[in-house]
Amino acid sequence: MVLAFLKAEIDSPRYEHVYRQKISALGFSRTPLIESADPHNDHQNMERIKLLGEVRGYGANSFSFHGFPHDVSWQRVRLEQPEIARLKYAKHHTWIILSNRTRLVSDGASNIDKIQVADVNGTINENVKKVVAGIQNGKSYSELIAVSGFDDDLILIEGPTRATAYVLSKYTQPVTLLVGTSARMRNWAFY
C-alpha cells in the first residue's frame, strides 16, 4: 500500500515538491525508491514508510492517517464502472463540497460543472477534467486506494480525482483498487 500510495502521489501538483525534498533528504532519488522499487528490499521499504510518514502522517497517527488502525489487511480488487461510482470520498472538505455532502464519487462527478471547489493549483474541477482528458487519450493511472470497516462502504484514501474522472468519462475498463480492511477503521479521522 505504501508504495502504491507514493506512486500515485509522486507527480501530484499538491505534493510533488514536498516528496522531491524529502526523497533527497533521505539520500535517494525517486527512481530506485518509487519508480523501479524493489518491494522485497527491507531498507527501501522502511525508507518508503518513513517518507509517507513525513509527508502524509502514515504510521505517525497524524495528518491524513490520524486514527488510522495498525491492523489493516490489504488486498487488490478490480472494480467495474458501477462499483467505482459507489465509492465514497474520505471525509475531507473539498470532496464533501463537490459531492454536496453525500461523499459519493458519482455525485462528485455529477457536480463537476455545477459546484466549483478551489484547490491549491486552481480548482478540483479543473484537475478532474485534466484526468478525464488523460483517460480519453489512453493515459493509464495508478491504482486507487480505499478502506473499509467491514461495512458496505469503500472510502477512498487516495485517488479521489482519478475516481471522479473514471466516473465522469464513463470509463469502461476495470480499475484496480487496493482495499484495506480493519474492524477499527471507523477510528480513522476521515472515515
Listed in sequence order, the residues at least 6 apart from 16 whose beta carbon sits closer than 8 Å to its beta carbon are 9, 10
Contact 70, 147 (CB under 8 A): no
C-alpha to C-alpha distance for 28 and 80, rounded to whole angstroms:
37
Helix H segments across the chain?
Answer: 2-9, 16-25, 30, 42-56, 81-85, 93-98, 105-110, 124-136, 160-168
Structural domains present in the chain: 2-65 (no CATH), 73-187 (3.90.1530)
pLDDT tens over the chain, length 191 residues: 999 999 999 988 789 999 999 999 999 999 999 999 999 999 999 999 999 999 999 999 999 999 999 999 999 999 998 999 999 999 999 999 999 999 999 999 999 999 999 988 899 999 999 999 999 999 999 999 999 998 889 999 999 999 999 999 999 999 999 999 999 999 999 99
pLDDT of residue 134: 97
pLDDT of residue 35: 93
pLDDT of residue 121: 80
Listed in sequence order, the residues at least 6 apart from 173 whose beta carbon sits closer than 8 Å to its beta carbon are none
pLDDT of residue 129: 97
Helix H or strand E encompassing 77: strand 73-79
pLDDT of residue 13: 79
